A and B are shown apart, each in its own frame.
Chain A
Amino acid sequence: MTQVTTPAEAEGTAGDGVMVRAEQVHKSFGSVEVLKGIDLEVRSGEVCCLLGPSGSGKSTFLRCINHLEKINAGRIRVDGDLIGYRERGGKLHEMREKEIATQRRAIGMVFQRFNLFPHMTALQNVAEAPVLLGRERKAAARDRAAALLQRVGLGDKLGNYPGQLSGGQQQRVAIARALAMQPKLMLFDEPTSALDPELVGEVLDVMKDLARDGMTMIVVTHEIGFAREVGDSLVFMDDGVVVESGAPREVIANPRHDRTKAFLAKVL
């Protein structure tokens, strides 16, 4: 997490190994500024854990990365591409909805409340988007969806509706659903916060597996153990700014800022 960038790097060419680069991201809801200049860099294959008290803007920042929220100032680049805008002649042009949708396909997202499609089985949940977007034939998409569900340990639950699955199982289906789009980046917004304690482990295991396979991930979490074990970098946010960042073990063992200390004291 070095913040020293040369102008050439700041252009965000895809070849420099940086998957996500956020520069001075500002976001307001009405008159309330929720993000007050976030700088963040996540390299390809890295797991970046985002910590911070409730209301500090973690979810909002994550949602800005796939343009579920429009930012008011700054730039977000994913794999070198500016998100939501095109820069032409020194001016920013809003992208069409179609182009934004195309950008989102490369970015998987997992929500705190799973948000599975309740009227579809686990298999349909996973296969739906690839089929709808014409990426694969139905049979091929189903085979791959089944393989993905197998991978997250749900090979025997293909035909179950979300209402027939436990929270941990639902979240694993949600991860498989995001993976079905073969994203180059995965965003997790407190993926285990809505789970009963005994179900947290099964979801974290899937995420660890994913990290081991080299997936680039940004994970908002309160699971300090996960951050320490899996995270390549840890970013502590409070009140819309990055307070502190660095190697997870370092930050957790020797937090420099009082706000980080106070927060860690509460969650540890």
Chain B
Amino acid sequence: MSSETDTTERARPEPIQAVPVRHPGRWVAVAVIGVLVAMFVHLLVTNKAFNWAFMVDEMFRPPIMEGLRGTLALTVLAMVIGVSLGVVVAIMRLSENPILRGVSWAYTWFFRAVPRLVLAILFGNLGILWARIEFGLPFDRQIGALFGVDDFEARLFGFSALEILTGFVAGMLALGLSEAAYMAEIVRAGIQSVDEGQTEAAQALGLSRTQILRRIVLPQAMRVIIPPTGNETIAMLKDTSLVAFVPVSTELFFQLKAVGNRTFQVFPMYVAACLWYLLLTSVLLVGQYYLERHFSKGFGRSAQAKIRLRGITAEAGGSTSEAGR
């Protein structure tokens, strides 16, 4: 008690004005980096091989823009396939049904084992397996033979494989199916990161398994899922250049390289590719930032800070208003 009265009566000590710690290492680092940057800029400006005027002139031409559209479309479509199929595969993996679990495991195993480049080439050549892709009763010929009917066919509709499995579709499937395997692992980790008590509370309310997954578990898992998915999207943007091997030509890098090969100005077009990918990735990063912010509702630092503030006001007597219910 007496110490309390002491503090109020004694004069407030003067604020501390200490000499801050010096950081000479930082200044050395700044100097070294400054010199390196200057050297790099000097290289960019003086070295004729960059041929900036030519590059800027070429990098917005219509074929390039078409390649850009192709790259963006492939990225978006492959990620849509990857994310939605990945969620399904992850849910199968966590299901109580051992067959679904097995299928999911086998899927992930296959598509993670085979390199994307090999997949792209493989899918580009799937036309060799089937001339036509048809939907109907499976094993219809065999079933027909079983009952003594020759050439029994029960097929609803079909397409020529070459028509459907165009390079673009083959490339999209190769990238999307492969992505689904990685996304499945990410989604699974996300779902497993959500506290068991959440599912229990929702079960106790009488919600169904799907409702719990959709409204309670997945939204919370998103916080864990979004950052690696952003990385996956960026990786996908760059991996679209692999579809050149399908072959698909409406793709950014292929088009830039084509200009380089045609004009014998290969290096500037590689630099143009770097710049394009830098730009696209930066746009994606901005999108990722907003997505992460959206899904951290009720979690993030700001929420924590608000609790702390509230705690302080409550201690100051703010809680009495609630007690008087």
Contact = CB atoms under 8 A, between A and B. Distances in A.
Q: Are A and B subunits of one complex?
A: yes
B322 A202 contact: yes
B204 A161 contact: no
A115 B303 contact: no
A161 B200 CA distance: 19
B314 A163 contact: no
A111 B205 contact: no
Contact of A153 (B208, B295, B325): B325
A81 to B, nearest CB: 14
Given A68-B204, A120-B298, A164-B303, A115 B209 contact: no
Contacts of B25: none
Given A117-B198, A117-B216, A163-B303, A101 B206 contact: yes
Interface string A40-68: 00000000000000000000000000101
Nearest to A164: B306
B213 to A, nearest CB: 12
A118 B220 contact: yes
A177 interface: yes
Contacts of B195: 115
Nearest to B297: A119
Contacts, number: 95
A107 B325 CA distance: 26
Contacts of B95: none
A195 interface: no
Contacts of A117: 198, 201-202, 216, 220
Interface string B128-169: 000000000000000000000000000000000000000000
Interface string A105-131: 101110101011111110000001100
B200 A111 contact: yes
A72 interface: no
B208 A101 contact: yes
Interface of B is mostly: helix
Contacts of A121: 298
B303 A129 contact: no
Nearest to B195: A115
Interface residues of B, number: 33
Given A104-B204, A164-B303, A178-B205, A132 B211 contact: yes
Interface in A75-112: 97-98, 101-105, 107-109, 111
A146 to B, nearest CB: 15
A87 B257 CA distance: 73
B216 A104 contact: no
Nearest to A97: B209
A152 B325 CA distance: 8
Nearest to A109: B204
A121 B208 CA distance: 21
Given A68-B200, A128-B215, A202-B322, A163 B205 contact: no
B216 A111 contact: no
A105 B206 contact: yes
Given A164-B303, A202-B323, A115 B298 contact: no
A174 B201 CA distance: 9
Interface string B296-325: 011100011011001100100001001101
B219 interface: yes
Interface of B: 195, 197-198, 200-209, 211, 215-216, 219-220, 295, 297-299, 303-304, 306-307, 310-311, 314, 319, 322-323, 325
5 contacts: A121-B298, A129-B202, A152-B325, A161-B298, A174-B201
Given A119-B220, A162-B298, 18 more contacts: A68-B203, A97-B209, A104-B203, A111-B201, A115-B195, A115-B200, A117-B220, A128-B215, A129-B202, A129-B205, A129-B207, A132-B207, A133-B207, A156-B322, A161-B298, A163-B299, A165-B307, A205-B325
- Those 3 A-B pairs whose CB atoms lie nearest each other, nearest first: A105-B206, A161-B298, A153-B325
